[in-house]
Amino acid sequence: MLARGRAPLPGAGARLARGPRGADILQRSSLLRKGPPAVTTPEETPGATPSRPGRPVPEGPPPAAPAAITRIFSGMQPSGELHIGNWLGALANWVALQDRHPCIFSIVDLHAITQDYDPAEMPARIRDMALGWLAAGIDPERSIVFVQSAVPEHAELAWIFNTLVPLGLLERMTQFKDKAKNQPENVNAGLLTYPLLQAADIAIYKADGVPVGEDQVQHLEMARDAVRKFNNRYGEVFPEPQPILSPARKVLGLDGERKMSKSLDNQIGLNDSPEVVWARLAPAKTDVRRKKRTDPGVPEDCNIFAWHGFFSSPEERAWAAEGCRTAGIGCRDCKQVVAKNIDAALAPMRERRAELERHPGRVDEILAAGAAALRPIAQATMEEVREKMGLDARVRYASTAGSGR
Ligand code: SF4
């Protein structure tokens, strides 16, 4: 599956050889040495249901990462404060995956500019996202964390993929149609070709595994198609990335209707204090049948009960279900248990974030080191690509520039 001539990921081979928890890692005095927050991955306890309150546990089977996968890429737009939807939907999986595979995680700022934004805010958004990732357990000792625009080869490869994929395919992408509907004033070409920049993000490092939710499978198919077209036309360079299907955890927001999102103001932030968590959770929508304390409800029709599924123990879930159906508990009682468990999950992240904020240069160092480690890999891939495509101007003319004057 791996393409020939792939540059090694710095440290990845050693990590694999020694195991992710090898002595070298134990000896490091990183700010992040405490490791990820308490997450029981299904891999650690196959088939187990959550047994400890206050621990966010991925639902269902673990991300199915085939053993042959050797390099994982994923990214997230710097869209503001991270919330528990980001955590349950992506970050918890990333934290689990870095135990098993070399991973590259990118803050994809070039994707973010396809929406309206304030340039003055972008650096802070990027930093905030990096802080949030590190606080959530992304470990720069095991994974590479960087900002997409720090490696300009992403954009160069995306342009090449632009010349290979038919327009009609891009126009059929569901996310393009949705985004074009959501921002009719700004249907820029980048919205259309967004999936090809995603393809380049993956291919530039010859990553062969990409964690995806069901809604992203179409984009990964596009990436696979783009690299296939390149390989067929110019010669084998890229592996076809495989989807690592993540457990489906669509997290609805406090309104109980729409996906959790900061722009909808229906979120609980990963850095929220217990007081803020409760202030936001207390008025959250519940089953409409429970107008009065004495009205029985249907827990399956309540978003708070879904959150019990993410954060509470089986005993607590059984207590909530029974109490809801019999009106034995009030919604306030029920929410207080969820709030307690959410806080138990967030507390280690808040602590780690506070520690990082006491050392402001640390995040910048991590992002700089990530870009420095990846640029040579991206440059090597582009040299290979240009050579296959007959685009040898950089080599042919670089040394003679100015000699004719
Ligand atoms: S008791 Fe709990 S599950 Fe039932 S409606 Fe109230 S908050 Fe929802």
Q: Ligand 1: distance of its center to the CA of 302 in Å?
A: 6
The set of protein residues with a Cβ atom below 6 angstroms from ligand 1 is 286-287, 290, 297, 299, 302, 304-305, 320, 324, 329, 331, 334-335
CA distances from 163 to 88, 234, 244 (A): 36, 13, 27
Q: Is there a contact between 154 and 378 (Cβ–Cβ < 8 Å)?
A: yes
Angle at 395 between CA 391 and CA 396, to 5 degrees: 85
Between CA 176 and CA 8 the distance in angstroms is: 34
Region 262-353: CATH code: 1.10.240.10
pLDDT of 260 reads: 92
In sequence order, the 6+-apart residues with CB closer than 8 A to the CB of 178 are none
CA of 329 to the centre of ligand 1 (A): 8
**Nearest of 305, 269, 313, 263 to residue 284 by alpha carbon:** 305
The dotted CATH code for 12-30+63-250+361-396 is: 3.40.50.620
Give dist(CA 90, CA 84) in Å, integer: 10
Query: For residue 6, what pLDDT is reported?
Result: 66
Instruction: Classify 373 as helix, strand or coil.
Output: helix
CA distances from residue 310 to 120, 247, 386 in whole angstroms, order as listed? 36, 12, 47
If you measure from the C-alpha of residue 313 to the centroid of ligand 1, how many angstroms do you get, rounded to a whole number?
16
Question: In which region does residue 11 sit, left (phi positive, over 0), alpha (psi from -120 to 50) or beta (all else)?
Answer: left
pLDDT of amino acid 209: 95
Distance 346 CA to ligand 1 centre (A): 22
Ligand 1: centre distance to CA 191 (Å): 40
Provide the edge-to-edge strand list for the sheet that holds 143-147: 143-147, 103-107, 72-76, 209-212, 242-245
Predicted local distance difference test score (pLDDT) of residue 30: 33
Instruction: Please state the atom number of ligand 1 nearest to the C-alpha of residue 302.
Output: 8
Given this model, what pLDDT does residue 395 score?
85
Q: What pLDDT score does 5 carry?
A: 59
Retrieve residue 48's tokens. 């187990």
Ligand 1 pocket mutation, candidates 255, 285, 286, criterion most atoms within 8 A of CB: 286
Q: Using most ligand atoms within 8 A of CB, pick from 305, 311, 337, 342 the residue to mutate for ligand 1.
A: 305
Residues marked as catalytic: 179, 259, 262
Task: Domain ranges for the chain, please list them.
Answer: 12-30+63-250+361-396, 262-353
Nearest residue by C-alpha to atom 4 in ligand 1: 324
Residue with tokens 């808040």: 350
370 touches 146 (CB < 8 A): yes
| Dist. CA 345–CA 272, nearest whole Å | 11
Enter the tokens of residue 6: 């792939």
303 vs 324: CA distance, rounded Å: 13
pLDDT < 70 stretches in the chain: 1-67, 247-249, 399-405
**C-alpha torsion 281→285→290→293, nearest 10:** 30
Query: Tell me, what's the pLDDT at 9?
Result: 63
Neighbouring residues of 311: CB distance < 8 A, sequence distance ≥ 6: 53, 54, 55, 56, 338, 341, 342, 344, 345
Contact between 105 and 373 (Cβ < 8 Å): no
Which residue among 281, 301, 334 is best mutated to probe the pocket of ligand 1, counting the most ligand atoms within 8 A of its Cβ?
Answer: 334
For residue 69 the two structure tokens come to: 């996968």
Atom number in ligand 1 closest to CA 335: 7
Distance (angstroms) between ligand 1 centre and the Cα of 294 equals 12
d(CA 47, CA 53): 17
Alpha carbon dihedral 309, 315, 316, 318, in 10-degree steps, equals: 80
**pLDDT number for residue 81:** 82
Nearest CA to ligand 1 atom 6: 331
Bridge partners (DSSP) listed for residue 104: 73, 144
pTM metric for this prediction: 0.82
pLDDT tens column, 340-391: 999 999 999 999 999 999 998 999 999 999 999 999 999 999 999 999 999 9
Q: Which atom of ligand 1 lies at the shortest distance from residue 305's CA? A: 3
Compute the distance between CA of residue 129 and CA of residue 145 in angstroms, rounded to an integer: 11
